[in-house]
């Protein structure tokens, strides 16, 4: 079933929709309480600046319909509002219901959709901006996620990714291969009592590079607008347009 984005203006805030991929979903559900804290601690609060930098690179759109794909606890949607103005509709889509509940506690105006990024329950050409913060790395079928993003975006719509890609330069290679495997799983285990943070490091090292990601976006029909390395390549912004 596909919804028109406009229904979320009046509908109840949480719409439950087919939750697949149980292992990753359960992992995020289990860490939802400490997710934000660990995010800020492990990035030395740089995640705020990274989201802001990404939002600033998007064109200003009046009355935008925004989908925060893999939006988790909603921080990217909140950054978008602060930096780009109030959208007409701000949807957070994620398959982990507990992450979405944490988003609801922060901002009641967010419309939450429990959904899989490879089966977006929205009609075609209905969204102006898709945000994706640290989500695509967790999706096994990236090509389908790209084609779903392309399908639901309007022509002239933008898909903005903020992600930890497979490191290419010396500094991020050193960080993700030598320092992060020692520090991040340990801090994660102490603070969230969960081994998800071992997965975090492995998922970065086994992901693709920004250029490979951009090639996948192009294959789905997107036009690349920018690739920007942040903090020496620890994170990257990739912005694409559906022309
Ligand atoms: C690292 S968190 C990022 C959360 C948020 N975007 C942020 O910037 O902090 C990744 C999120 O992606 C979600 N996710 C992973 N795979 C997904 C999929 N196939 N469909 C929907 N959500 C997914 C997880 O549940 C999790 O909330």
**Domain assignment of residue 158, given as a range:** 5-166+208-242
Residue whose Cα lies nearest atom 7 of ligand 1: it is 133
In angstroms, rounded to a whole number, what is the distance separating the alpha carbons of residues 154 and 68?
Answer: 15
Among residues 96, 84, 88, the alpha carbon closest in space to that of 26 is found at 96
- On whether the CB atoms of residues 162 and 76 are closer than 8 A, the answer is yes
143 in a structural domain = yes
Nearest atom (ligand 1) to Cα of 76: 8
What predicted TM-score, i.e. pTM, was given to this entire model?
0.91
In angstroms, rounded to a whole number, what is the distance separating the alpha carbons of residues 79 and 11?
Answer: 24
Categorize the per-residue pLDDT at 8 as very low, low, confident or very high, splitting at 50, 70 and 90. Answer: very low
191 in a structural domain = no
Supply the pLDDT for residue 3.
Answer: 55
Ligand 1 centroid to Cα of residue 219, in Å, is 23
Ligand 1 centroid to Cα of residue 54, in Å, is 17
Torsion (CA) 34, 39, 44, 46 in degrees, nearest 10: -150
- Number of domains forming the structure of the chain: 1
Residues in the ligand 1 pocket, defined by CB under 6 Å: 21, 24-25, 28, 39, 70-72, 75-76, 94-96, 99, 116-118, 133-135, 138-139
In angstroms, rounded to a whole number, what is the distance separating the alpha carbons of residues 102 and 114?
Answer: 13
SS3 139: coil
Ligand 1 centroid to Cα of residue 72, in Å, is 5
Mean pLDDT score, 12-39: 72
Residue whose Cα lies nearest atom 8 of ligand 1: it is 133
180 in a structural domain = no
Supply the pLDDT for residue 4.
Answer: 53
Residue whose Cα lies nearest atom 26 of ligand 1: it is 72
Among residues 181, 172, 230, the alpha carbon closest in space to that of 201 is found at 181
In angstroms, rounded to a whole number, what is the distance separating the alpha carbons of residues 27 and 39?
Answer: 15
217 in a structural domain = yes
**For residue range 108-160, what is the model confidence (pLDDT) as tens digits?**
999 999 999 999 999 999 999 999 999 999 998 999 999 999 999 999 999 99
46 in a structural domain = yes
Residue 185 has pLDDT above 70, yes or no: yes
**Residue 158 has which token pair?**
């933008």
Strands 127-133 and 14-16: unpaired
Residue whose Cα lies nearest atom 10 of ligand 1: it is 135
Give the residue, 16 or 105, on which the prediction is more confident: 105
- What CATH number is attached to the domain comprising 141? 3.40.50.150
31 in a structural domain = yes
SS3 191: helix
**For residue range 56-78, what is the model confidence (pLDDT) as tens digits?**
999 999 999 999 999 999 999 99
Strands 65-69 and 127-133: parallel
DSSP 11: S
| Overall residue count recorded for the chain in this entry | 243
41 in a structural domain = yes
Ligand 1 centroid to Cα of residue 237, in Å, is 16
Run of H or E residues at 14: strand 14-16
Nearest atom (ligand 1) to Cα of 71: 6
Nearest atom (ligand 1) to Cα of 115: 21
152 in a structural domain = yes
């Amino acid at each position: 079933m596909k919804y028109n984005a406009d229904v979320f203006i009046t509908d109840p805030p949480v719409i439950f929709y087919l939750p697949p991929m149980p292992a990753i979903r359960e992992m995020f559900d289990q860490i939802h309480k400490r997710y934000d804290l660990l995010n800020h601690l492990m990035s030395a609060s740089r995640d705020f600046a990274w989201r802001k930098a990404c939002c600033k690179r998007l064109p200003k759109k009046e009355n935008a319909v925004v989908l925060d794909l893999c939006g988790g606890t909603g921080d990217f949607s909140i950054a978008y509002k602060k930096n780009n103005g109030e959208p007409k509709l701000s949807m957070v889509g994620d398959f982990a219901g507990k992450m979405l509940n944490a988003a609801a506690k922060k901002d009641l105006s967010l419309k939450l959709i429990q959904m899989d990024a490879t089966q977006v329950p929205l009609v075609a050409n209905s969204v102006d901006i898709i945000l994706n913060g640290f989500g695509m790395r967790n999706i096994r079928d990236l090509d389908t996620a790209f084609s779903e993003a392309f399908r639901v975006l309007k022509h002239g719509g933008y898909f903005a990714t903020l992600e930890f890609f497979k490191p290419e330069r010396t500094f991020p290679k050193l960080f993700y291969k030598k320092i992060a495997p020692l520090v991040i799983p340990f801090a994660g285990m102490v603070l969230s009592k969960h081994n998800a943070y071992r997965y975090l490091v492995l998922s970065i090292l086994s992901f693709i590079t920004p250029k490979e990601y951009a090639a996948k976006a192009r294959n789905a029909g997107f036009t690349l607008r920018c690739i920007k390395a942040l903090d020496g390549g620890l994170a990257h912004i990739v912005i694409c347009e559906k022309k």
